[in-house]
Chains A and B, each alone.
Chain A
């Protein structure tokens, strides 16, 4: 297991830190359903590791998906410096890496092919067709795969033959492929057991630090949030109900924020 590096970046950028992501009154309603996002506003300072915490259906995914243009906001803006992303502009800066939940990799492509697929927007169609990636990119993909802890043999295996933890590592490598300044992670450890989840979170934070990238990571596990976050933002039913530093918040007090009992288990088994 790797050691946790001290929170040096937060200390360096404290004070008048530049902002990487600015969310302004983000609102989203799906049809006539309940409000998924209700005037959520906050900004991320460069280099920060922010955890977006909340129970299922609290709007975490919607917010992250809106930031990369997968969802159009009903109103409000999400600005990724220096360009505006949604709702009007379809263009988004390429320097966003996104880590998804399990199942977002192409199962039958190898780990290396999946990592390299991040470079597709910058390539011509015939290179896409034959998956003929330039040698420097291939080298970079291999370095990243080695960095996230895969072997050469695993890099050439179809992703479906890898374990859940290995798949998420490949997902992280794919997110890092285009040297992102902002990494969005949508429940990256939702399908993993607690021990593997910790390792993957650790890897995400370390690799982001090495790049100096800002991270917005959604989670529903309060313990992981307290352990890894420089800052915690809590969403509940589409509303921002808490925003504060990760240090000094206990998992129990956070759990209380979204209807967890003292054991940290949700009570909402019947009512939904």
Chain B
């Protein structure tokens, strides 16, 4: 460490003979080969080789426009049966309780359509078809309205889930930030709690919560909130730990306690990142809220599952389209808010 003058001995080998670290070596090559071997083994187990065969077969079939096998036919027809999309709602009036023809819903009208009723003739044991007149109530955009109402319900589920998640995760983040946790016991408990919350997928917890709280939005809200709280708790805590230490030291040098330091030296730093994380969670919860409806936890997913199981693919098509447009719009909105915050 003592330096009088720069010693010429330091440069004992001339720079053109220096060996720089190679970018990859034998070990890297070996690891890559191992990874490829594993992937090829796993691909076989996952029947991915089969998939390539099928795709090739479908391509050949399409080219020769020959008949394809049953599975592909049903997939094709599901897609075909989605169109035209179901926008209107047609309900036979005899199915509506206390129907009042003088007080129709907005834009609705009545239509009389021929109704074919097949009955079994008890004498001849033959099916006979009789044509009768039937009045149906036609609401031109009735089904679309229903889907939009369901989408709004889905958004509400996501909103409440995110709100509850934020409120739950703030104390969790404080306890599981190593440098602000009051005691290591709290730290360990909070850390494992957060990991546990994150480890349980929404769909699984929704299954159980539906058992506990019944069908409907409550189960969905709780399922999403618990998972999101785990996610936010972890990342909020990591932001606190990674915050610039210099302002915090200055606060401590002035004799400020840990609450004041968190409030004045940490919170202003992490706030933009918190906002971005929260926005991401909201965005993700909207998408997840459509999915957890599949297990009966409310929202559009419940409607989707019902229609899918009843083979009403035209309605499924409407639902999918509305979901797609909603997610797209929210994405745009989130991107704008994020730009303003950062």
Contacts and interface: CB of A to CB of B under 8 A. Distances in A.
Interface of A: 65, 68-70, 92, 94, 98, 100-101, 103-109, 113, 117-118, 120-121, 125, 128-129, 131, 174, 178, 259, 267-272
Contacts of A270: 3, 6, 10
Contact of B247 (A105, A120, A129, A259): A105
A197 to B, nearest CB: 19
B268 interface: yes
B3 to A, nearest CB: 5
A129 B263 contact: yes
Nearest to A67: B253
B334 to A, nearest CB: 22
Contacts of B256: 117, 120-121
A271 B1 contact: yes
B265 A106 contact: yes
A120 B260 contact: yes
Contacts of A104: 246-247, 249-250
B257 interface: yes
Contacts of A69: 252-253
Given A68-B253, A128-B263, A267 B5 contact: yes
A196 B250 CA distance: 22
Contacts of B218: none
B337 to A, nearest CB: 18
B250 A125 contact: no
A108 B260 CA distance: 15
A267 B268 CA distance: 41
Nearest to B270: A108
Given A105-B247, A107-B269, A268-B3, A117 B255 contact: no
B264 A128 contact: yes
Contacts of B269: 106-108
26 contacts: A68-B253, A70-B249, A70-B253, A92-B255, A98-B250, A98-B254, A100-B253, A101-B246, A104-B247, A104-B250, A105-B247, A106-B268, A107-B247, A113-B264, A117-B264, A120-B256, A120-B260, A120-B264, A128-B260, A128-B263, A178-B254, A267-B5, A269-B6, A270-B3, A271-B1, A271-B2
Interface residues of B, number: 26
B244 interface: yes
Contacts of B250: 98, 100, 104-105, 174
A128 B259 contact: yes
A120 B254 contact: yes
B78 interface: no
Contact of B255 (A94, A108, A259): A94
Nearest to A121: B255
Nearest to B249: A70
A54 B78 CA distance: 80
Interface string B225-262: 00000000000000000001011011111111101100
B51 to A, nearest CB: 51
A178 B249 CA distance: 17
Contact of A271 (B3, B252, B257, B263): B3
Contacts of B6: 267, 269-270
A106 B247 contact: yes
A269 B6 CA distance: 9
B171 to A, nearest CB: 15
B267 to A, nearest CB: 9
A33 to B, nearest CB: 13
A272 B1 CA distance: 6
A103 B244 CA distance: 8
A269 B7 CA distance: 11
A213 to B, nearest CB: 15
B3 A259 contact: yes
Contact of B249 (A100, A125, A259, A272): A100
B271 interface: yes
Contact of A103 (B10, B247, B254, B259): B247
Contact of B268 (A65, A103, A108): A108
A122 to B, nearest CB: 9
Contacts of A117: 251, 254, 256, 260, 264-265
A98 B253 contact: yes
A121 B257 contact: yes
A144 B305 CA distance: 67
A70 B250 CA distance: 9
A104 B254 CA distance: 12
Interface string B119-159: 00000000000000000000000000000000000000000
Contacts of A131: 264
Interface string B1-21: 111011000100000000000
B259 A125 contact: yes
A108 B266 CA distance: 10
B271 A100 contact: no
B255 to A, nearest CB: 4
A128 B5 CA distance: 55
B259 to A, nearest CB: 6
Contacts of B1: 268, 271-272
Contact of A121 (B5, B244, B249, B254): B254
